[in-house]
Chains A and B, each alone.
Chain A
Amino acid sequence: KAGVTQTPRYLIKTRGQQVTLSCSPISGHRSVSWYQQTPGQGLQFLFEYFSETQRNKGNFPGRFSGRQFSNSRSEMNVSTLELGDSALYLCASSRGRQGTNTGELFFGEGSRLTVL
């Protein structure tokens, strides 16, 4: 079956702009998590959505937000972009039921954001 699909794969923005990234999870998966990957900070958890509700949130400023739609697709938005937001943004999906598939996530290839 199809894997996790992220769009766009690459994008370039300038400081102060905003960006929206999209993630389509594996069919049947209701949980979508977002991670930021940078050379300096590594992989850091942004947030998780399940059934259109944010279930967990990492330690990121309010400029980072997300949402999930009824078909489980998710978007994340970063407003007022800063140079330090340049990163690979990874989306991961799972079935999401509590107590099942603990920590077993299926990752997309990521959206690489460059902020100039």
Chain B
Amino acid sequence: GDSVTQMEGPVTLSEEAFLTINCTYTATGYPSLFWYVQYPGEGLQLLLKATKADDKGSNKGFEATYRKETTSFHLEKGSVQVSDSAVYFCALTFSGSARQLTFGSGTQLTVLP
């Protein structure tokens, strides 16, 4: 079945450091890919998405590029802030079942001042 693999956390960085959270997927066909973020005590929020190969999703300084050849969707940010501390989830879905997301295990990010 479809699956998403994220790098193990937790990840701890100093403010203004560069962030990469790896995400790879296994799926039959070409899914849409997403990054969701969960801040403490809140529900998940869509951070960015890409619906086809080579698309780049971006939002709030975060970026991720849909790489079909490596089945990857790594999340990057050039300079993290304390307010970026949260759990980040990579996810995929297919258009025929768009609300049925398959999530990765999540990566806890802590940014220290």
- A92 CA / B34 CA spacing, docked (Å): 15
Which of B36, B98, B102, B103 contacts A101 (CB under 8 A)? B98
Q: How large is the interface on A (under 10, 10 to 19, 20 to 34, 35 or more residues)?
A: 20 to 34
Please state if A45 and B102 are interface contacts (CB–CB under 8 Å): yes
- A1 CA / B77 CA spacing, docked (Å): 30
Which of B43, B92, B97, B105 contacts A108 (CB under 8 A)? B43
Which of B49, B97, B99, B105 is packed against the most chain A CB atoms within 10 Å? Answer: B99
* Interface size in chain B (residues, C-beta < 8 A): 26
In the complex, chain A residues 70-115 whose Cβ is within 8 Å of any chain B Cβ: 90, 92, 94, 96, 98-99, 101-110
In the complex, chain B residues 1-57 whose Cβ is within 8 Å of any chain A Cβ: 32, 34, 36, 41-46, 49, 51
Please state if B91 and A103 are interface contacts (CB–CB under 8 Å): yes
Q: Which residues of A contact B104 (CB under 8 A)?
A: 42
Please tell me if A4 contacts chain B, counting CB pairs below 8 Å: yes
CB contacts between A and B, total, < 8 Å:
68
- A101 CA / B91 CA spacing, docked (Å): 15
Q: A107-B45, A108-B43, A109-B43 are in contact. Are A102 and B51 (CB under 8 A)?
A: yes
- A19 CA / B69 CA spacing, docked (Å): 45
Please tell me if A18 contacts chain B, counting CB pairs below 8 Å: no
Please state if A103 and B42 are interface contacts (CB–CB under 8 Å): no
Please state if B106 and A48 are interface contacts (CB–CB under 8 Å): no
Q: Which residues of B contact A44 (CB under 8 A)?
A: 103
A-B contacts, 7 listed (Cβ < 8 Å): A31-B99, A43-B106, A45-B100, A56-B99, A58-B100, A94-B99, A105-B44
- The interface of chain A, by Cβ under 8 A from chain B, is 3-4, 31, 33, 35, 42-45, 48, 55-56, 58, 90, 92, 94, 96, 98-99, 101-110
- The interface of chain B, by Cβ under 8 A from chain A, is 32, 34, 36, 41-46, 49, 51, 89, 91-93, 95, 97-106
